Copies of this chain bind each other. A is one copy, B any other.
Amino acid sequence: MKVYGTSVSGNCYKIKLLLHVLKIPYEWIETDTRKGETKTQEFLLKNPVGKVPLLELESGEFLSESNAILYFLAKNTDFFPDDLLAQSRILQWMFFEQYSHEPYIAVNRWLIHFQNKKDDPRIPSNHTKGLDALKIMNDHLAKNQFFGSENLSIADIALFAYTHVAEEGQFPLSDFSNLSSWIRRVKEIPDFIPIY
């Protein structure tokens, strides 16, 4: 299978990380959002939403949305257990990630670290909401080793992607000790690959 992705993007890194730990061979096609490569006519035929990551199957079919791709790859593996309530909790955290975490933490990382737009008016409000998300995660980890399930799952991979580089968006991870321990646990997955 082929993956179209921007290497520095957390959403794209999720897919690369899961493919590595599952030892699934793939071809990475670097497609840089910063150069407008997801908005070309050619790319929009593959994904009308104009975003990466995008998975291309051997059949020529496409699948988009990072967390839907994680589901596709992880089903019937240890990263998505059989129990319905555990599965639903994993999805709960993955929807939390896309709605209450990524829009603030990833966007501030993007503005501050990659675009050098440190005066962007969205940053203060994103910072407050991103801290809220990190606090919810940190509180959850006071009583749990992982998100969604007793063992590491695709919920952890989804949340890890932007959380572990949140300091690039000026979020102080050192204030959240449970998060720091969890980040270390995720990095211990066999065949873990770093974002950079």
Interface residues on A, range: 20 to 34
Identical chains bound together, number: 2
Beyond A95-B95, A98-B95, whether A69 also contacts B88 by CB under 8 A is: yes
Q: Indicate with 1 or 0, residue by residue over A81-95, a CB within 8 angstroms of chain B CB atoms.
A: 000110111011011
Give chain B residues whose Cβ lies under 8 Å from the Cβ of A85.
57, 61, 63, 72
A67 to chain B, nearest CB (A): 5
Known: A48-B136, A61-B85, A66-B95. 19 other contacts (CB 8 A): A49-B100, A63-B85, A63-B89, A63-B92, A64-B92, A64-B96, A65-B92, A65-B95, A65-B96, A67-B91, A68-B92, A68-B95, A69-B88, A71-B87, A71-B88, A75-B84, A91-B91, A94-B95, A99-B102
Q: Does A139 contact B (CB under 8 A)?
A: yes
Asked if residues B100 and A103 are in contact (CB atoms below 8 Å), the reply is no
- Which residues of A (21-78) have their CB < 8 Å from a CB of B? 48-49, 57, 61, 63-69, 71-72, 75
Asked if residues A140 and B48 are in contact (CB atoms below 8 Å), the reply is yes
Which A residues are closer than 8 A to B by beta carbons? 48-49, 57, 61, 63-69, 71-72, 75, 84-85, 87-89, 91-92, 94-96, 98-100, 102-103, 136, 139-140
